[in-house]
Chains A and B, each alone.
Chain A
């Protein structure tokens, strides 16, 4: 057992983990964090996506000990003050069906938009290529991320313009 400390959704959580436990196992089994899902356990599906220091990673491929001292964000930490613009856009445009892939997709898309506020369609498709969705056929998802980016860019540029 090893003692680790993770900054999880803004709060420091300390716990003891086995050296062979994955971050996904620890989040779900020991920290009560259920939005990262296990779809394959081997890095193929992206359902377990979390943000590690802001980057989208597969928590089934990362050992919990590797997250020691790092910042981890899951969907639990995203919509605390109400759903984000991206989440609202997902609802409005039916960018999900069964919803099982949705936490991973929302996180991966948020990470992309944080890094690249004006992505091309190919950027979006590439950023989400590791998040398998068996239901939607992806179209609504990709379009929603594009539209959300355009909208927040419009807001940003209009607020820039209105500044003296």
Chain B
């Protein structure tokens, strides 16, 4: 195939430059800086630093709080992804079948995605408040059944729910688009073949949605590792007793509260590697099962 090309290379370079500049300034430079800091001991108030090799990483690996935070992050990623994709799929199937009121929630469901994470966190803090929120009625009947302020499991569940809720909108849009891309005649053919609604969903729609689901899986997992700071910060601030101390949150805490730039930089390098490895494994082992023809 012949392609359009520029005779004058400098024009091409000029056109690409702004984009490259943005990527460089906001991605490569900070990453490089973090990488550098991860191997040095950085002074909190600036001025001078000292090369320490792998000591920062060693300190992290030996820190049990860090392992706690990895564990919490994995649980959070798994359940919030599962929950948000599951809810989005059910809603998308309902919207695709044009059940009553689908026009309303097709639009209504897209809005949450436009809400900033801290706002979501704040809203859910009120909703889940054990003494004044929606679930406080449960506490009146069975005192103590819902207590995210003292109970770590409850707190984590609450953060997972809020994180999932925020992602539902995004997943819903993609699932709905995926469902609508499936030719109507396929579901009709399976209806003629004798399949009921659930059978059609299972045999036809879900398999054909697999590429969409895979894409969303990668995005959701990545997002839940890297983009969940706002929710934790407003809802639980990592507590109680580090029960919701996600890796991104811990990086912020150690770096900006604890003023341990070097440790935080090393943690963010590890987080980046972790996300890369996870994405690699998803592509390696899941993607090959989802493409047809």
The answer on A and B forming one complex is: no
Binding site for B on A (CB under 8 A): none
